[in-house]
Amino acid sequence: MKKCRVQIIFIVAVIALWEIVYRTGVFPELMFPSIGSIMKSLWTGFAEDELAGMVGYSLSLILRGLSIGILLAFVLSSLSIISKTFHKIYNLLVSVFDLVPGVALIPLAILWFGIGEGPIIFIVIHSIIWPMSRSIIDGFQSVPKIYIESGKNLGLSKFEMVKDIYLPASFSNVLSGMKIGWARAWRGLISAEMIFGTTSAGAGIGWFIFMKRTNVDIAGVFAALIVIILIGIIVEYGFFRVIEKNTIKKWGIRQ
């Protein structure tokens, strides 16, 4: 509760400081809108500009991309533990592609998948698979040898070793990789939507930001940023913190 109060006080202080700076007139209103203007744009976005539908569409895209990316990260990272040869190859791929920004792959994604949802989902997958794989592999390699030897003595197969030994023992790294991957995928999605615009199935929040910027509606841009931040907070505290509380904290891995 104390931590929550501190965070609330900090947010209130930031809002108050923002309004004070606005009222001083140091920056023109076009660049630095008031809190009231931002809240009005937020309300208008949901009431008139179909912002809710755009948010829902963005979430549907990232859920599809995350599902594929997380599955691939688990499978490929597990194979890298089972096979030393595959580990050398995959570790190299992770080291190389983890450095490539998703936005830089957009021209290739357009060539490969055309214009539509395909390139955006590809960017989301790229954004999560490499950082998550890195965390999983690092976690697997940090598993105490006594756990591994115990599994071998019990006659566990390679698949069972991954499922019953490596994953539980390195779950803290796995969860950390998911957090990093989610954050990068969310940023990559918004960036891709701002570049691609709409698809045949709909438009996302990135397109909303692009249109507000084009119309020089800076209050609308800030309103969209608030929505993006709120979604991030909900995912962090409503999903990852719940998993963390019921797994690694419950197991005594982390206080």
Domains defined for the chain, CATH in brackets: 57-246 (1.10.3720.10)
Q: Which residue has the higher pLDDT, 95 or 170?
A: 95
pTM score, whole prediction: 0.81
Amino acid at 107: P
CA–CA dist 47, 52 (Å, integer): 9
Helix (H/G/I), strand (E/B), else coil: 33? coil
Residues 206 and 190: beta-carbon distance below 8 Å? yes
H or E element in which residue 213 lies: helix 205-214
Query: Which of 93-102, 106-115, 177-186 is the least confident region?
Result: 106-115
- Note the pLDDT of residue 200: 59
Confidence of residue 193 (pLDDT cuts 50, 70, 90): confident
Q: What length is written for the chain?
A: 255
Instruction: Match 């954004």 to its residue by tokens.
Output: 127
Residues 222-239 pLDDT 10s:
988 999 988 888 888 888
CA–CA dist 125, 62 (Å, integer): 9
Amino acid at 206: G
- Note the pLDDT of residue 251: 61
CA dihedral 98, 167, 59, 97 (to 10 degrees): 10
Residues 84-93 pLDDT 10s:
888 888 989 9
- Note the pLDDT of residue 248: 67
- Note the pLDDT of residue 186: 87
Is the per-residue pLDDT at 208 higher than 50? yes
Query: Which of 45-49, 166-170, 185-189, 249-253 is the least confident region?
Result: 249-253
Is the per-residue pLDDT at 252 higher than 70? no
Confidence of residue 255 (pLDDT cuts 50, 70, 90): very low
- Note the pLDDT of residue 72: 92
CA–CA dist 68, 33 (Å, integer): 40
Averaged pLDDT for residues 195-212: 76
- Mean pLDDT score across all residues of the chain: 83
Averaged pLDDT for residues 178-204: 79
Averaged pLDDT for residues 108-137: 86
| % the chain with pLDDT above 70 | 93
Residues 17-73 pLDDT 10s:
888 888 887 888 778 888 888 888 888 888 887 888 888 888 888 999 889 998 999
- Note the pLDDT of residue 184: 86
CA–CA dist 37, 32 (Å, integer): 10
CA–CA dist 176, 158 (Å, integer): 24
Confidence of residue 250 (pLDDT cuts 50, 70, 90): low
Q: DSSP class of residue 252?
A: T
Query: What is the 3-state secondary structure of 54-114?
Result: HHHHHHHHHHHHHHHHHHHHHHHHHHHHHCHHHHHHHHHHHHHHCCCCHHHHHHHHHHHHC
